[in-house]
């Protein structure tokens, strides 16, 4: 935690340490920014159907999409206030194996099976962020850092179990796989992250600019404290910014 605080302080202080530049950029830019989200999840997900605990899953990751509104407001010289609000949707996948696990097989008898359990976590979220951007190279390459708040919107998980061995073994109904859980994830909450990265302002016309960005997210709190579940990520977007 001390390292993260030091890192955040250094990035926020960077504009004060670098020489100011008179870049002549407009006072306010606002636009839309669609893009791609990549997420890596830390912690241990333990699934249950309300009657028994099934499996533990770790190390999930996924790719999705994002869209939002972004604004850049000049604070003078090369320093900008950057803020935004957006929506994202990402599906992350986990897997776990169980060996020689007792199941109820055909003939209503107990069989010992090797099982592959796959967990799909689907999450839409609202994200709000704000911070400082500093123009470091003309015509408009900038660095950015600031806090972000992510609000999960009804995250859900679907767990599928499949018999991988021994050969010929089936569930009681004759199938090789079945859905164990398909429900909302309990106990999730909004969480705070540090977002930082870089972008560029590329003039298209006198009033229109293209703004590609690459932003990383590092969580500073858990999204689901019972599982110690947190989520880091990388967002790649291209905004179309209008001068106001």
- Please check whether residue 177 lies inside any domain of the structure: no
Alpha-carbon separation of residue 73 from 88, 133, 139, 167 (angstroms): 24, 9, 17, 64
- Please check whether residue 74 lies inside any domain of the structure: yes
CATH for 130 = 2.40.160.20
Range of the domain at 63: 2-11+29-90+123-152+187-243
pLDDT tens figures, 119-173: 899 999 999 999 999 999 876 899 999 999 999 998 898 988 888 888 888 887 8
For residue 87, count CB atoms less than 10 angstroms from its CB and return exposed for 0-12, middle for 13-18, buried for 19 or more: middle
pLDDT tens figures, 79-89: 999 999 999 99
Question: Would you say 217 and 195 are in contact if contact means Cβ atoms under 8 Å apart?
Answer: yes
- Please check whether residue 164 lies inside any domain of the structure: no
- Please check whether residue 63 lies inside any domain of the structure: yes
Quote the mean pLDDT of the chain.
83
How many domains does the chain fold into?
1
- Please check whether residue 201 lies inside any domain of the structure: yes
- Please check whether residue 148 lies inside any domain of the structure: yes
- Please check whether residue 198 lies inside any domain of the structure: yes
Q: Regarding predicted confidence, which is higher, 180 or 211?
A: 211
Average pLDDT estimate for 178-195: 90
Give the pLDDT band of residue 53 (cuts 50, 70, 90).
Answer: low
* pLDDT number for residue 193: 96
Partners of 65 in beta bridges: 36, 89
- Please check whether residue 158 lies inside any domain of the structure: no
């Amino acid at each position: 935690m001390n390292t993260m605080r030091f890192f955040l302080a250094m990035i926020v202080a960077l504009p004060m340490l670098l020489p100011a530049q008179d870049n002549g950029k407009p006072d306010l830019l606002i636009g839309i920014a669609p893009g791609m989200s990549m997420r890596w999840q830390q912690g241990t997900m333990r699934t249950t159907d309300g009657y028994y605990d099934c499996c533990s899953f770790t190390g999930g990751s996924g790719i999705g999409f994002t869209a939002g509104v972004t604004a850049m407001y000049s604070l003078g010289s090369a320093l900008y206030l950057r803020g935004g609000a957006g929506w994202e949707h990402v599906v992350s996948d986990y897997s776990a194996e169980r060996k020689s696990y007792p199941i109820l097989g055909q003939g209503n008898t107990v069989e010992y099976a090797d099982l592959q359990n796959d967990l799909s976590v689907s999450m839409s979220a609202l994200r709000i962020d704000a911070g400082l951007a500093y123009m470091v190279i003309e015509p408009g390459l900038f660095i950015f850092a600031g806090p972000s708040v992510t609000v999960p919107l009804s995250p859900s998980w679907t767990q599928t179990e499949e018999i991988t061995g021994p050969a010929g073994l089936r569930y009681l109904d004759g199938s090789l796989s079945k859905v164990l859980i398909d429900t909302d994830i309990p106990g999730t909450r909004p969480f705070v992250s540090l977002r930082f990265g870089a972008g560029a302002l590329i003039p298209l016309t006198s009033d229109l600019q293209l703004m590609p960005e690459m932003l990383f997210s590092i969580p500073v709190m858990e999204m689901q404290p019972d599982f110690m579940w947190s989520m880091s990520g990388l967002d790649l977007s291209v905004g179309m910014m209008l001068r106001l």
